[in-house]
Amino acid sequence: MIEVQHLTKYYGRHPGILDVSFGAEKGEILGFLGPNGAGKTTAMRILTCYLPPSSGMAKVAGYDVLDQSLEVRRRIGYLPENVPLYHDLSVSGYLGFVARLKGMQGRSRRARIEKVVEECGLAEVRNRIIGKLSKGYRQRVGLAQALVNDPDVLILDEPTVGLDPRQIIEIRELIRNLAGRRTVILSTHILPEASLLCNRVIIINKGKLVTVDTPDNLKNRLQRGMTVEITVRGDREAIRGVLETVTGVSSVTDTSAPSAGTCAFRVEAREGFDVREPAAQAVVTNGFGLLELAPVDMSLEDIFVELVTQEDIN
Ligand SMILES: Nc1ncnc2c1ncn2[C@@H]1O[C@H](COP(=O)(O)OP(=O)(O)OP(=O)(O)O)[C@@H](O)[C@H]1O
Ligand SMILES: [Mg+2]
């Protein structure tokens, strides 16, 4: 349903997104996860034809966003970061206005508005003025306007930002129900949100795609504790025994090369334990020669630490 290849967008000399490629199948909920300035909104604006890419290609339902933008727009509903609602219109008045803008007419327009009002839980407030609605309800109106043309693809830019916890749960539930036969792309800063809603998550940072995976796989990679590789001179079994008693160590695997005169171990630690210092200490105080000690396979954790740190700064 969505195909993106080597997509790049420069703002002047600064890249908003750089060489990003991914795809999304029909019915899939795909999450864009990344800190402020990662390029989430930029990618979404390109997919919705609000911005032309500098290079690369993006297709929606087989139509190119540059050459066939009318066909793309017809198939897409977009909830931008800041929904351009008209605060002095009523809910149904505003949805009627959006439907007319999208070229819908007469009875089918009225029927469609009925449907989205129902789907988005807006029936009780349909005659209320938008400016007087709570933020959660305004977000529902934003979702309703994205749905008016019954799009195959829904693009939601941080749909739960600024909502209280109860509204967040309601909007997530609504998004889940709206998905079904539609393809949904939503952006978020929040890893648990992505894992709750999405079939797959794309992590982007500083304009670049970091990884694409299912939430479960990501969580497994994230939640795994620290792994340390350690090289020691001494008796193999004795060293293993010492390492196994270090607090926080969950497993010790012998990785020594057969011909080497030294022993190598891969030490796995339980989550939340930094075993480097106690492991080094245990080796040395037991009279063995510590040759090398280094954490391994931390790349995804590093990435997340970076993501989270940036989020804290912003
Ligand atoms: N109109 C613009 N002109 C110049 N630079 C821009 C423009 N829009 C975005 N950028 C830059 O492009 C980069 C990506 O921005 P983008 O808004 O796509 O990130 P984002 O992931 O949506 O961030 P946020 O979580 O804050 O919404 C940022 O460095 C930003 O400063
Ligand atoms: Mg954004």
Write down the domain spans for the chain: 2-221, 227-297
User: For residue 297, what pLDDT band results from cuts at 50, 70 and 90?
Assistant: low
Pocket test for ligand 1, best of 9, 20, 41 (most atoms within 8 A of CB): 41
Per-residue pLDDT reduced to its tens digit, 46-58: 999 999 999 999 9
Give start and end residues of each alpha helix (H) in 180-214: 191-197
Query: Looking at the CA of 80, which ligand is closest?
Result: 2
Q: Cα(218) to centroid of ligand 2, in Å? A: 22
39 lines ligand 1 (CB under 6 A): yes
Residues 6+ apart with CB under 8 A from 169: none
Q: How far apart are CA 175 and CA 169, in angstroms?
A: 10
Q: What is the pLDDT of residue 80?
A: 93
Residue 304 has pLDDT above 80, yes or no: no
9 lines ligand 1 (CB under 6 A): no
Q: Cα(187) to centroid of ligand 2, in Å? A: 8
Q: What is the pLDDT of residue 298?
A: 44
* Residues, CB-to-ion distance under 5 Å, ligand 2: 40-41
Inter-residue contact 279 to 267 (CB < 8 Å): yes
Inter-residue contact 51 to 11 (CB < 8 Å): no
Query: Looking at the CA of 34, which ligand is closest?
Result: 1
Q: What is the pLDDT of residue 84?
A: 78
Q: What is the CATH number assigned to the segment(s) 227-297?
A: 3.30.70.3190
- 135, β-bridge pairs: none
Average pLDDT value for residue range 168-175 = 90
Q: Cα(314) to centroid of ligand 2, in Å? A: 13
Residue 125 DSSP symbol: G
Residue 4 DSSP symbol: E
Inter-residue contact 41 to 187 (CB < 8 Å): yes
Would you tell me how many other CB atoms lie within 10 Å of the CB of residue 253? 12
Return the SS3 of 42.
helix
Residues 6+ apart with CB under 8 A from 304: 191, 222
Average pLDDT value for residue range 278-307 = 78
User: For residue 150, what pLDDT band results from cuts at 50, 70 and 90?
Assistant: very high
Handedness of CA 238, 241, 246, 248 (dihedral sign): positive
Q: How far apart are CA 57 and CA 280, in angstroms?
A: 51
Inter-residue contact 233 to 248 (CB < 8 Å): no
Element (DSSP H or E) covering residue 264: strand 263-269
Atom 22, ligand 1: which residue's CA is nearest?
41
Helix 91-101 with 106-119: angle, nearest 10 deg: 130
User: For residue 295, what pLDDT band results from cuts at 50, 70 and 90?
Assistant: confident
Q: Which ligand 1 atom is nearest residue 9's CA? A: 12
Residue 145 has pLDDT above 80, yes or no: yes
40 lines ligand 1 (CB under 6 A): yes
Q: What is the pLDDT of residue 305?
A: 59
Element (DSSP H or E) covering residue 47: helix 40-47
255 lines ligand 1 (CB under 6 A): no
Inter-residue contact 3 to 68 (CB < 8 Å): no
Q: For the whole model, what pTM was predicted?
A: 0.74
Pocket test for ligand 1, best of 33, 36, 307 (most atoms within 8 A of CB): 36
As a whole number, the mean pLDDT across the chain is 88
Q: Cα(310) to centroid of ligand 2, in Å? A: 14
Would you tell me how many other CB atoms lie within 10 Å of the CB of residue 165? 8
Handedness of CA 13, 210, 76, 85 (dihedral sign): negative
- CATH number of 2-221, picked from 3.40.50.300, 3.40.50.10800, 1.20.1250.20, 2.60.40.420: 3.40.50.300
Q: How far apart are CA 113 and CA 96, in angstroms?
A: 7
Q: What is the pLDDT of residue 221?
A: 64
Q: What is the pLDDT of residue 303?
A: 53
